[in-house]
Amino acid sequence: VKIPVVESVLKVNDQIAAENRQDLSRVFTLNLMGSPGCGKTALVEATLRALGGEIRLGVLVGDLTTTRDAERMARWCDRVVQINTGQGCHLEARHVREAIGRIDIGAVDALIIENVGNLICPVGYDLGETGRVGMFSVSEGDDKAIKHPHLVRAANLLVLNKVDLLPHVPFDLDRFRDDVHRVAPETRLLEVTATDPGGEGWQDWISFIRAGAGRGDPSP
Q: Is 118 in the site for Mg ion (CB under 5 A)?
A: no
Q: Which of residues 138-167 bind ligand GDP (CB under 6 A)?
A: 161-162, 164-165
Q: What is the DSSP string of 47-87?
A: HHHHHTTTS-EEEEEEESS--HHHHHHHTT-S-EEEEE-TT
Interacting residue with ligand GDP among 117, 122, 128, 201 (CB under 6 A): 117
Strand stretches in 96-171, DSSP E: 110-114, 131-137, 157-161
Q: What are phi and psi of 185, to 5 degrees?
A: -60, -25
| 195 contributes a contact to ligand GDP by CB under 6 A | yes
Tell me if 40 contacts ligand GDP by CB under 6 A.
yes
What mask, x for binding Mg ion by CB under 5 A, covers residues 14 to 53? Answer: --------------------------xx------------
Choose which of 17, 24, 27, 38 interacts with ligand GDP (CB under 6 A). Answer: 38
Which of these ranges, 1-9, 17-25, 81-89, 189-197, lies near ligand GDP under the rule CB under 6 A?
189-197
Interaction of residue 90 with ligand GDP, rule CB under 6 A? no
| Alpha carbon distance 146, 150 (integer Å) | 9
Q: Which C-beta is closer to ligand GDP: that of 154 or that of 194?
A: 194
- Our measurement of the distance from residue 41's CA atom to the centroid of its chain's CA atoms, rounded to an integer in Å, reads 10
Is 42 a binder of ligand GDP (CB under 6 A)? yes
All residues at 6 or more sequence positions from 138 whose CB lies less than 8 Å from its CB, including other chains: 160, 161, 162, 163, 165, 166, 169, 171, 173
Q: Does 69 bind Mg ion (CB under 5 A)?
A: yes
Say how many C-beta atoms besides its own lie within 10 A of residue 102's C-beta: 13
Residues contacting residue 211 through CB under 8 Å, at least 6 positions apart: none
User: Least distance to ligand GDP from the beta carbon of 113, Å?
Assistant: 12
Amino acid (1-letter code) at residue 148: H
Residue nearest ligand GDP, CB atom distance:
39
Which chain residues interact with ligand GDP by CB under 6 A? 34, 36-42, 117, 161-162, 164-165, 193-195
Which chain residues interact with Mg ion by CB under 5 A? 40-41, 69
